[in-house]
């Protein structure tokens, strides 16, 4: 089992450069007691992409003493007692991901790796650690306020469907018995909590704050509130009636705009859950202040093994937050919000200079983006309309005419970043929103010329218009238009580059017939996806409501859903129809759907005919369209050169 034991021999950094993680490290700083203990299910990475570091540095900058208790042994209360009694409160988070998504695949199989743990070791946190950690906090030091937050708590702040137990679970405030729940991005919330508790207030006094949820007892009165209050169907009602669950989901999502969202209540037995409106979006200067803090951008020296998530993100730069896409299967808008919040160009370039000057930097910025690559500085051009708008997506069913979609700020940022001395390449790994970029030749040419290393990942998700509408994604013609224009842009800059499209299997509304059509779509365009996304019903998502209730909560119309493992595996196999191990499943699906026309040697046939009574001895490749190379080396072997004619010798750099 990989544990934190010995210290790193780094000649540059020692533990004093980090927030303290042990009693010994606190003594070295001269502390007799921490003000706040941040308990996290992730390893401690002092990088602004990780919540414990970002929130801890925010509190530190305000003068508070913050200790980090990362991935503690939850089977004992001793790790909590070692750090001593926090003067103000415990801040508890499961980590950067929902623990159940982190631990289990879409088919509920235990994952083999935890990207946020040293050595990728699984099992260094429990399932639903927010509940377990909160309990240990109370055991260790009775009377210390416990504040929960992060993705797991944020997305479980109301009654919700839990895919892994197939049950309706109550708000995580109930199961954790925490004093407050902070939802969304937590900088403003955690700092205000710290300041007000430091001033002598209690957690009861904090119930007027934006971005928090709390529970009232049977005899408690609902506090006065300036705006309106809307009641959701109770926990008992949504457990008993799927229609009520759908109504709850619709109401919740209609109240997420921080400019007009109302206070929400939901009865849990004889207790009242109260959810205040979300915090207001940050302005540029506020975002800059977060990312200009003195992060070491390193893993804590006590780790003896590399942490996969850190290795992937250590040389990336976050330029914005939020997403106005409103995809029904995505939790980003429910956590980060729909309003795009931007850093200034000056702040971003300052961070790029710092990365470039690091002695171990190898010349490549791994990403310049956020939830998406190309929403930087895009926002409603009419603030007075934005303040009252309740659309769930600014770009579906079509791009709102009031939405600013100018790519020039993004282009300028890309150009200036790659011009910094020491930076050789700037990759764009965040997903490109194709319906925004398809018609912008300048952006596509800039992307193709300088920021794509042969392959660009995009997410059309499906080929069925009906399914795409349920996802709140554009028609697949948008993907074809983008693919055509990206190819032309690549040709103009003298490169041969390919798209790597991502699709989802088993999304609500997607039938076997839809997946067969998707397979034909892939075959016609020469795509052989090596990775398939299986739909995971994450808490609070609209698509999760569809999966559980069989209803689209926005229209209350029925939606076909896939719940059985066999049916999920069939949809997955159809997307990878070319794999020999999927032959029998694909054959049965095609016969069952009456699509024998896709079995044989025709141009668009998905699989060959059976050989006698069994499968063919060898799967024949019937594709007439040349598929995209699956690796940089294959591209070189096929064409004798790398994209753009550069030397394509493999990078010999040892992975850390």
In this prediction, residue 530 carries a pLDDT of: 85
Instruction: Work out the pLDDT band at 647, boundaries 50, 70, 90.
Output: very low
Tokens at residue 610, please?
């059976």
Q: Where are the domains of the chain?
A: 15-275, 296-633
Instruction: Work out the pLDDT band at 453, boundaries 50, 70, 90.
Output: confident
pTM for the model stands at 0.90
pLDDT tens column, 424-434? 999 999 999 99
Domains 15-275 and 296-633 agree in fold: no
In this prediction, residue 651 carries a pLDDT of: 35
State percent of the chain over pLDDT 90: 89
d(CA 224, CA 196) in angstroms, rounded, equals 19
CA angle centred on 415, ends 409 and 419, rounded to 5°: 145
pLDDT at residue 628 is higher than 80:
no
pLDDT at residue 327 is higher than 50:
yes
Mean pLDDT on 483-499? 96
pLDDT, the chain, mean: 91
Residues 542/333, Cβ–Cβ less than 8 Å = no
pLDDT tens column, 287-296? 999 999 999 9
pLDDT at residue 339 is higher than 50:
yes
Integer angstrom CA distances of residue 635 from 209, 490, 498, 632, 649? 55, 15, 10, 5, 12
Instruction: Work out the pLDDT band at 9, boundaries 50, 70, 90.
Output: very low
CATH code reported for the domain at 15-275: 3.40.50.280
Mean pLDDT on 63-79? 97
**Burial (Cβ within 10 Å: 0-12, 13-18, ≥19) of residue 214:** buried
pLDDT tens column, 356-379? 999 999 999 999 999 999 999 999
DSSP-assigned states of every residue in 250-280: HHHHHT--TTTPPEEEEEETTEEEEEPPPPP
pLDDT tens column, 232-289? 999 999 999 999 999 999 999 999 999 999 999 999 999 999 999 999 999 999 999 9
pLDDT tens column, 131-168? 999 999 999 999 999 999 999 999 999 999 999 999 99
In this prediction, residue 613 carries a pLDDT of: 60
State percent of the chain over pLDDT 70: 91
Instruction: Work out the pLDDT band at 451, boundaries 50, 70, 90.
Output: very high
Integer angstrom CA distances of residue 118 from 70, 114, 192, 244? 11, 8, 32, 43
Mean pLDDT on 54-73? 98
Establish how many alpha carbons lie within 13 A of residue 128's alpha carbon, considering only the half-sphere containing its beta carbon: 17
d(CA 13, CA 516) in angstroms, rounded, equals 55
In this prediction, residue 173 carries a pLDDT of: 98
In this prediction, residue 12 carries a pLDDT of: 53
pLDDT tens column, 546-596? 999 999 999 999 999 999 999 999 999 999 999 999 999 999 999 999 999
Domain 296-633 = CATH 3.80.30.20: yes
In this prediction, residue 357 carries a pLDDT of: 95
DSSP-assigned states of every residue in 274-336: EEPPPPPPPPHHHHHHHHTS----EE-TT-SS--HHHHHHTTEEE-EE--S---TT--HHHHH
d(CA 364, CA 116) in angstroms, rounded, equals 22
In this prediction, residue 611 carries a pLDDT of: 78
More confident residue, 629 or 468: 468
Tokens at residue 204, please?
């009861």
Integer angstrom CA distances of residue 559 from 397, 551, 573? 18, 5, 22
CA angle centred on 318, ends 317 and 319, rounded to 5°: 110
């Amino acid at each position: 089992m990989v544990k934190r034991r010995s210290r790193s021999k780094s000649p540059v950094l020692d533990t004093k450069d980090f927030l303290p993680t042990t009693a010994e490290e606190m003594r070295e700083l001269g502390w007799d007691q921490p003000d706040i203990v941040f308990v996290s299910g992730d390893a401690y990475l002092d990088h602004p992409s990780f919540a414990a570091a970002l929130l801890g540095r925010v509190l530190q900058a305000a003068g508070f003493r913050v200790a980090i208790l990362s991935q503690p042994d939850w089977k004992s209360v001793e790790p909590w007692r070692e750090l001593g009694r926090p003067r103000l409160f415990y801040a508890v988070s499961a980590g950067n991901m929902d623990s159940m998504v982190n631990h289990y695949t879409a088919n509920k199989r235990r994952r083999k790796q935890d990207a946020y743990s040293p050595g990728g070791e699984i099992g260094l946190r429990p399932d639903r650690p927010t509940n377990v950690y909160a309990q240990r906090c109370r055991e260790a030091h009775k009377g210390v306020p416990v504040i929960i937050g992060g993705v797991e708590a944020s997305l479980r702040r109301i009654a919700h469907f839990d895919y892994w137990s197939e049950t309706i679970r109550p708000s995580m405030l109930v199961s954790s018995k925490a004093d407050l729940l902070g939802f969304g991005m937590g900088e403003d919330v955690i700092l205000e909590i710290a300041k007000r508790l430091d001033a002598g207030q209690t957690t009861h006094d904090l119930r007027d704050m934006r971005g928090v949820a709390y529970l009232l007892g049977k005899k408690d009165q609902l506090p006065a509130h300036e705006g309106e209050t809307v009641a959701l169907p109770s926990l008992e009602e949504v457990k008993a009636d799927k229609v009520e669950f759908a109504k709850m989901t619709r109401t919740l999502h209609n109240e997420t705009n921080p400019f007009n969202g109302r206070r929400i209540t939901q009865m849990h037995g004889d207790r009242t859950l109260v959810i205040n409106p979300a915090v207001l979006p940050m302005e540029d200067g506020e975002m800059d202040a977060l990312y200009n803090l003195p992060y070491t951008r390193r893993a804590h020296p006590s780790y003896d093994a590399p942490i996969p998530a850190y290795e992937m993100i250590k040389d990336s730069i976050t330029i914005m937050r939020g997403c106005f896409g409103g995809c029904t299967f995505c939790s980003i808008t429910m956590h980060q919000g729909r309003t795009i919040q931007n850093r200034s160009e000056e702040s971003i370039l300052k961070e790029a200079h710092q990365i470039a000057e690091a002695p171990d930097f190898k010349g490549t910025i791994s990403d310049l983006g956020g939830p998406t690559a190309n929403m930087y500085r895009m926002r409603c051009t009419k603030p007075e309309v934005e303040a009252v708008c309740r659309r769930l997506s600014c770009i579906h069913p079509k791009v709102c005419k009031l939405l600013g979609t100018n790519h020039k700020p993004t282009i300028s940022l890309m150009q200036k970043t790659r011009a910094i001395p020491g930076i050789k390449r700037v990759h764009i790994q965040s997903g490109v929103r194709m319906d925004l970029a398809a018609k912008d030749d300048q952006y596509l040419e800039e992307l193709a010329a300088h920021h794509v290393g042969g392959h660009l990942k995009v997410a059309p998700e499906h080929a069925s218009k009906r399914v795409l509408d349920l996802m709140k994604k554009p028609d697949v013609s948008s993907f074809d238009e983008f693919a055509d224009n990206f190819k032309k842009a690549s040709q103009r800059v003298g490169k041969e580059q390919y798209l790597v499209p991502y699709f989802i299997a088993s999304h609500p509304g997607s039938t076997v017939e839809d997946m067969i059509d998707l397979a034909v779509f892939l075959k016609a365009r020469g795509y052989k996806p090596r990775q398939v996304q299986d739909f995971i019903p994450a808490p609070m998502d609209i698509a999760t409501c569809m999966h559980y209730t069989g209803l689209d909560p926005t229209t209350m119309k029925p939606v076909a859903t896939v719940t059985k493992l066999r049916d999920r595996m069939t949809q997955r196999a159809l997307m990878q129809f070319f794999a020999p191990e999927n032959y029998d499943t694909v054959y049965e699906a095609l016969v069952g759907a009456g699509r024998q026309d896709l079995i044989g040697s025709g141009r668009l046939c998905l699989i060959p005919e059976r050989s006698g009574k069994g499968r063919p001895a060898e799967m024949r490749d019937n594709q007439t369209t040349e598929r995209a190379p699956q690796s940089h080396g294959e591209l070189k072997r096929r064409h004798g050169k790398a994209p753009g004619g550069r030397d394509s010798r493999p990078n010999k750099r040892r992975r850390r």
